[in-house]
Every structure is written in structure tokens, then in C-alpha cells.
Structure 1
Amino acid sequence: MMEQRILDIADHLLLIERELQVRGWWDEVSPSESALASTVPFAVDTLAFEQWLQWIFLPRMKLILEHGHPLPSASGILIMAETVFTDRPEESRELRRLLAAFDRLIAA
């Protein structure tokens, strides 16, 4: 049976996805392959943070869960989100709350 933590993480990924859509921060068109191939943390050189969440983080986490790969031992997504959204504290409140909960689930 799937561990409860895995199910909780999967739920959180869906909530993060939904929040990005609700905010209008969800792209219909994928960034270029070169943009997605960035090796810089959070692909800050080629993608907006929201794009990184949509095109790199969410698909990567879904693959990890679907294939039963080991989970990352730590997640610092909230720290990055706090930095990115300093100018949008109200708009990003729910997304940051979800990312904080995700960080806690990973650290568990």
C-alpha cells in the first residue's frame, strides 16, 4: 500500500498545480527545450519561478512518485518562493502556504 506521506505529497502537487492555474500563472505553451535544459537551480536564468514549478518541478515530482524513486531529502522551495514573490505577497499567499507544506512533507 502507498505510504500516507506519498499520497499527501501527491495531493499537494495537485493543489500547487491548481493554485498556479487559479492565479493565471499556468502556461499553455511549453518553454523552449533550451530554457528547460537550464542547469541553474530553479532555472532562474531561463524560466520564471512559476514556469519552473509547472514545467520542471511538478513533472519531476510526479515521475518520482509514479516510479517509486527516492524522495528528495530536503526541499527549499519556500525560500525561493519568498524571494520571488516579495512584490506579490497577497497574490502568492496560498501558493507559498502550499509550498511551505510541501517542504515540511519532504523533510518529514
Structure 2
Amino acid sequence: MKQDMPLKVLLDELEQQLHEAQLWQETSPSPQLLASEQPFAIDTLEPQLWLQWIFLPRMRALIKAEQPLPKGFAITPYFEECWRQNSEYATLLVVIGQIDQEGA
């Protein structure tokens, strides 16, 4: 699906930025932690873990299966709040904002 290519590129960029910020975790959280029903798995995962283990895989699965992508989501405010004391994550926030714009 050609229209999904920009989002795919942004997802790859998000992964790269997580690596560069040393937020990428090699070991998956337990299935119980990943099974949270709260938005952003706020009760079980750190924000970057939600991106890595829930958001990225779900979005990539939708793209691969050529399924409709969610529209109108806005995840940037959550990450701005979580990382407001972490100026080193500014580049991550820019990429997350671009993902929000792509999904508008």
C-alpha cells in the first residue's frame, strides 16, 4: 500500500531513535505486562516499552496485512508529559509527532 510508506518510514525512524536514546530493550516484558488493558499500558509498562512492544508491532502488522490504519490518534501529548524532564528525548518526540500527523 503506497500510502502507508511514509508511516512505515516513520516507524523505522522511531525504532532507530529508541536505539539511539538507549531505550530499546532486548528482552520482552512478560505476557502479563503486555496484556494491560489501560491506555499505553500505563499500569504495567514504561512509555518506551509500550512503543517498542505494543505500538510498533501492531502498526507494522497492520501495514504488512494491508489493513486500514487507525486515524485520528494523538499519542504525542502522553509522551510529552512522560518525558517533560528528559530533553534528550526531543528527537523521539518529533518523530512521534510526525506519526500523529500521518495518522490524522
Question: Which category of TM-score, normalised to the shorter sequence, fits these structures?
Answer: over 0.9
State the percentage of identical aligned residues.
36
Equivalent residue runs for 1:5-84 within 5 Å = 5-84=3-82
Task: Name segments (4+ residues, structure 1) moved above 3 Å.
Answer: none
Where does the alignment leave 5 or more consecutive residues of structure 2 unmatched? none
- Measured after TM superposition, the shift of residue 28 of structure 1 is 0.6
Where does the alignment leave 5 or more consecutive residues of structure 1 unmatched? none
State the TM-score, normalized to the length of structure 1: 0.94
In structure 2, the partner of 1:92 is 89
* Further displaced range: 13-22 or 71-80: 71-80
Give SS of 1:7's match. helix
Q: Distance in 1 between matches of 2:49 and 2:6?
A: 23
State the TM-score, normalized to the length of structure 2: 0.97
- Measured after TM superposition, the shift of residue 21 of structure 1 is 0.4
Aligned residues: 104
